[in-house]
Structure 1
Amino acid sequence: MGEQKRKEDNKAEFIFGKKNYKWLFIGLAFIAIGFILMAGGGSDDPNVFDESIFSWRRIRLAPTLVLIGFGIQVYAILLNPNKDSKK
């Protein structure tokens, strides 16, 4: 009896549930897409100025996606996986 109880105690238990990890990966995807959209726009020649660094995609869209991703991460951490959605 005591040996069986020890096996149950040694059983690894995750802090987050399946729902938490799903939201964490969705948030990471938003952050990654935001940083990918921010990339580029530089010029190979330092004497030539490239206006593409001020594009709507790099100034508005990409940072917004990153901030949304961070918000999703906070939601995923605070989400209670044990709470039933059905009452």
Structure 2
Amino acid sequence: MGKKQKNSKDRPRQEFIFQRKNYLFMFLGIGFIALGFILMSGGGSDDPTVFNPDIYNFRRIKLAPTLVLIGLGLEVYAILLNPHKNK
């Protein structure tokens, strides 16, 4: 007489594209990128006529960009990681 309702067994199971392991690496990569940008910030001077040489220190020139690049590498790894491969 009417439409027959489908049970939950009949419906296809909806899955996420990524698994837990992928998301862990994604959040770790985001953390590295955020930390890199935080370490890169600052170093300015209140007086524009005075040069502050702290802008060229190790933390802003070497460490922070390296952390950002590591974070981007982790993001690429998280996207390409196949968690079903080693089950």
Smaller-chain TM-score bracket: 0.7 to 0.9
Cα root mean square deviation, aligned: 1.6
Unaligned runs of 5+ in 1: none
Q: What is the 5 A alignment of 1:8-19?
A: 8-9=11-12, 11-19=13-21
TM score, norm. by length of structure 1: 0.87
Q: Which runs of 4+ in 1 moved over 6 A?
A: none
Return the letter of the residue paired with 1:45.
D
Aligned to 2:66: 64
Return the letter of the residue paired with 2:30.
L
Decide which structure has greater helix share: 1
Give the Cα–Cα distance (whole angstroms) in 1 for the partners of residues 31 and 74 of structure 2.
10
TM score, norm. by length of structure 2: 0.87
Give the Cα–Cα distance (whole angstroms) in 1 for the partners of residues 73 and 24 of structure 2.
14
Give the Cα–Cα distance (whole angstroms) in 1 for the partners of residues 44 and 59 of structure 2.
14
Unaligned runs of 5+ in 2: none
Number of matched pairs: 82
Q: What is the 5 A alignment of 1:13-52?
A: 13-52=15-54
Q: Tell me which structure has the larger Cα radius of gyration.
A: 2
Matched position secondary structure for 1:41: coil
Give the Cα–Cα distance (whole angstroms) in 2 for the partners of residues 44 and 34 of structure 1.
23
